[in-house]
Structure 1
Amino acid sequence: MTAADLVPPSARPSRADRNYRLLTAAAIITGLGTNGALIAAAFAVLESGGDAGDVGLVAAARTAPLVLFLLIGGAVADRLPRHRVMVASNTLNCVSQAVFAWLVLAGDARLWQMMVLTALCGTGQAFNPAAEGMLMSTVSGEQASRAFALFRMSMQGAAIGGAALGGAMIAAMDPGWVLAVDAAAFAVAGALRSFLDVSHIPARAPGGGLLADLRDGWREFVGRTWLWAVVAQFSVVVAAVGAAEAVYGPLVARDELGGARPWGLALAAFGVGTLGGAVLMMRWKPRRLLLAGTLCVFPLALPSAGLAVPLPVAGLCAVMFVSGAAIEVFGVSWMTALHQEIPEEKLSRVSAYDWFGSVAMVPLATALAGPVESLAGRSQALWGCAALVVLVTGAVLFVPDVRNLTRRTAPTELVARGTPASADAEGAVGRLG
């Protein structure tokens, strides 16, 4: 049973067909496995005799190839059949996690081996733009927001459930078994994606090679002011939030709130908030997509500010809940805008540039978090993170295309590159014939 089956037929997206169900089911299964495996990998390192620095090296080994290969993954996904790219990616993830599990269960896992295998898993995840492009090509324009909201709600539920299940399994058995479950999850997801129907997707015209595809994707990306402006905004927002929550949050919890449990509760509140935001977006369809979404980025400054005070546990959970709900409003609005404005054959490439811009600064931000704390103090560093979120979000609202991009309720011709549909009648834009 998938998440789509739990929703009454009247509430389902009109195109929640076989492809949508298969994609949602595969995403839930991999989400459950991956979020448990992230915890298991850290404990596997510690149980093999590693320290916190070794845990960080293994985590970096997953992130580095993800950043390195994202753009290539997006171009490949637009060049080759997306379902085959997804199956190949899941196969690589399955094999790497299976070997990782075997080494851990055998008690012979070395740091370099764990880093290499984790890097292979990160490489597979770099081809995720294929899944996003396939999802966007599956749903209809009018019901896209509801479909994306249901999909994101399923993903967030899988993230919460996967982390909880992984933690419970690690408490009861060797972390290697959690890694083995993750490998099995990738195998099942790959099998489901192999049954996707791609007959509705036009055949790809012969191109000029991978580099030509990357250049074409770059032109599509920079030719739309709203697109590169929001991605530039999120390169700072994600870096600031990442430093606050991945580095400073656990430290504040340890020193000010009584240990890891309060921080776990706060993260759980964030997860519950994302579910609430997704439920809201199944019903709410803001007319000015990016204006509504961008306004909901401001609450992402609240967790950093709450940690800077620091707020008591109840207050911190409250601001984490609000920020979780707000980011889902942005996320669904953003996916709807991409679905509406980007040509189908370029969705994966544009998605790859979006992902790359959003995560590229995270390693630098987390690496600088410690030195900044030493120079300015933890509270000042956290206030700085909150201020960065507010400043760049306020700045992007000065971009007219961000304020004016409007939801189209009926199929229309493609909007001219770089010019979203205006919210005002006098702002009518040129059309491509």
Structure 2
Amino acid sequence: MTEEQAPGTTSAGPLRNPGFRWFFAGRLVSLAGSAMAPVALAFAVLDATHSAGSLGVVLAARSVPMLLFLLIGGVVGDRFPRRTVLLVANLGAAATQGTAAALFLTGGFHLAAIAALEFANGVLTAFTTPALRGIVPQLVEPDQRQRANSLLGSSKNLSSIVGPSLAGTLVLTAGSGWAIAIDALTYLLAAACLARLTLPGAVEVGRAGFLHELREGWTAFRALTWVCLTVLAFAATNAIYVGVWNVLGPTIADTTIGAAAWGLILSARAIGTLVATTALYRLRARSLPTGLLCFATGALPLIALALSAPVWLLVATSLIAGIGHGTMAITWETLLQQKVPNTLLSRISAYDDLVSFAAVPVGQLAVAPLAAATGQTEAMLLGGILFALIVTLPLLSPSVRHPSSTP
């Protein structure tokens, strides 16, 4: 985000806007439920089947359609009123999760039925995400968008920290079925909040064909060089992080620093991300280059772990990496909202998400052969070096240093 796009000095924050208050309340409730759902669902399936394979089927049934239908969701988010899209998606998610909870609570578990429900839930998520990323500019003035993104980012990060613990407590005390039922209830509450929204400058219903609008989004995505280069960097670093850090990290930690220290390192990163997203409600995010340089700090814990750094240094580098990640997340979201026309924002966001995460399975599959060929610590060190290089490489492009809304 450039200097002139940063939040102004006005004291009125986005929460003074009734529309944004209802939207924020709905997101807060929905995020709380969504943060609990993976833990609750995992234990519900394992309690019913005692099979890791069955759990894998259910999780894949939800994650695959999230990618397959993402581009369709982007077109729908630009083509139809986003309030309507989000209302239908939240009501649908309440129905799918409510039905799943009923099956678990009544002892009517069938793997195929649960997998089908989670597939439907994944489809609904694919329609939800692009619409969510396009709705903030319709609710909030440009000088308040960073603050709005800060609030939304902070609530998401806080939910990801607190939600799994709450879910674990619910599973132990009330059972996993009730935890999933609470997730269904949060979708209903979110829909009730969204029903109160009135969106100014709503996106008009599109008249062009679906494929035309899909191609139009792809053309716009490719034409914005700074978007393409940054998203490609996201894709590569996601593959590195998920593969090297998430897979090799615990493996190395298990034989060196131990599980407790590894948990502390992961918590430090989550705390750092929360600190950054919260601080950016007041502080000014400077520019895309600054965001990328902050994001490059994600290489530090990988390099530190590869070099057998002490636990305190691993915690410190992980905290710094979290701050860098949180800073880039808010900078990127605000920059897209400022530079991309709202009529294209859901489609551009969908291509952003699809490209950014499509390489994740590649990283997960490639890390084992890489570690076998080079050694685990060597692969970790290589991952850290590549992470830093890939993140900073887009800075060579003038379009990244000075992003514009036109090709």
- Do Structure 1 and Structure 2 share a fold, with TM-score over 0.5? yes
Number of residue equivalences? 398
Of residues 417, 427, 432, the one that matches 2:406 is 417
Q: What is the identity, as a one-letter code, of the residue corresponding to 2:300? A: L
Distance 1:91 1:377, change over 3 A: farther
In structure 2, C-alpha distance between the alignment counterparts of 1:12 and 1:357, rounded to whole Å: 36
Query: What is the TM-score normalised by the length of structure 1?
Result: 0.85
Distance 1:96 1:381, change over 3 A: farther
Query: Offset of 1:401 from its aligned partner?
Result: 1.4
Could you tell me whether the CA contact under 8 Å between 2:149 and 2:334 is conserved in 1? Answer: yes
Match of 2:189 in 1: 188
Match of 1:219 in 2: 219
The letter for the 1-side match of 2:333 is: M
Match of 2:280 in 1: 281
Q: Distance in 2 between matches of 1:160 and 1:94?
A: 23
Map residues 219-368 of structure 1 onto 2, 5 A cutoff. 219-259=219-259, 261-287=260-286, 289-368=287-366
Identify the residue that residue 175 of structure 1 maps to in structure 2. Answer: 176
Summarize the Cα distance change of 1:44–1:380 in structure 2 as closer, same or farther, 3 Å threshold. Answer: farther
**Other-structure match for 1:156:** 157
CA offset at residue 103 of structure 1? 2.3
Does structure 1 residue 68 correspond to structure 2 residue 57? no
Contact 2:217–2:344 (CA<8 Å) still a contact in 1?
yes
Q: Report Cα offsets for 1:371-426 as digits up to 9, x if no partner.
A: 43344332233223222311211211111111123xxxxxxxxx6621xxxxxxxx
Q: In the superposition, relative to structure 1, how do residues 320 and 10 fare at CA in structure 2: closer, same or farther (>3 Å)?
A: same
What is the DSSP-based 3-state SS (H/G/I as helix, E as strand, rest coil) of the residue aligned with 1:142?
A: helix
- Corresponding residue of 2:3: none
Q: Distance in 2 between the 1:209 and 1:273 partners?
A: 44
Question: For residue 406 of structure 2, what is the amino acid of its counterpart?
Answer: R
The alignment yields a C-alpha RMSD, in angstroms, of 2.2
Deviates more, 1:73-82 or 1:17-26: 17-26
Deviations 1:31-71 (A, max 9, x none): 11111111122222322334444433333222211111111
Task: Give the structure 2 partner of residue 372 of structure 1.
Answer: 370
- What is the CA–CA distance in structure 2 between the aligned matches of 1:307 and 1:172, rounded to whole Å? 37
Counterpart position of 2:44: 44
Give ranges in structure 2 of 5+ residues lacking alignment: 1-8
| 3-state SS of 2:283 partner | coil
What SS does the aligned partner of 2:344 have? helix
Q: Which residue is 2:147 aligned to?
A: 146
What do residues 150-198 of structure 1 show as CA deviations (whole Å, max 9, x unaligned)? 2211221122121221122223232122111111111111121122112
Aligned partners of 1:102 and 1:176 also within 8 Å = yes
Q: 1:315 to 1:116 in 2, by over 3 A?
A: farther
* 1:240-281 deviations in Å (ceiling 9; x for gaps): 11223432333334333333x433333322221112101332
Amino acid at match of 1:417: T
Match of 1:188, as an amino acid? Answer: L
Q: Distance in 1 between matches of 2:312 and 2:174?
A: 32
In structure 2, give the amino acid aligned to 1:296.
Answer: C
- Which amino acid letter does the alignment assign opposite residue 64 of structure 1? V
* Structure with greater helix share of residues: 2
Please state how far the C-alpha of 1:232 moved relative to its aligned partner: 0.7
Greater RCO structure (CA 8 Å; 6+ sep) = 2
Q: Aligned pair in 2 of structure 1 residues 130, 318: CA closer, same or farther (>3 Å)?
A: same
Matched AA of 2:76:
V
- Whole-Å separation in 1 of the counterparts to 2:392 and 2:140: 32
TM superposition shift of 1:207: 2.5
Where 1:195 maps in the other structure, the secondary structure is coil
TM-aligned CA distance change 1:144 to 1:92, over 3 Å: same
Q: Which one-letter code corresponds to 1:147 in the other structure?
A: A
Tell me what 1:134 maps to.
135
Q: Which segment is superposed worse, 294-303 or 307-316? A: 307-316
Alignment identity in percent? 32
CA contact (8 A) 1:77 1:129 kept: yes
- Aligned partner of residue 257 in structure 1, secondary structure: coil
Does the 8 Å contact 2:302/2:384 carry over to 1?
yes
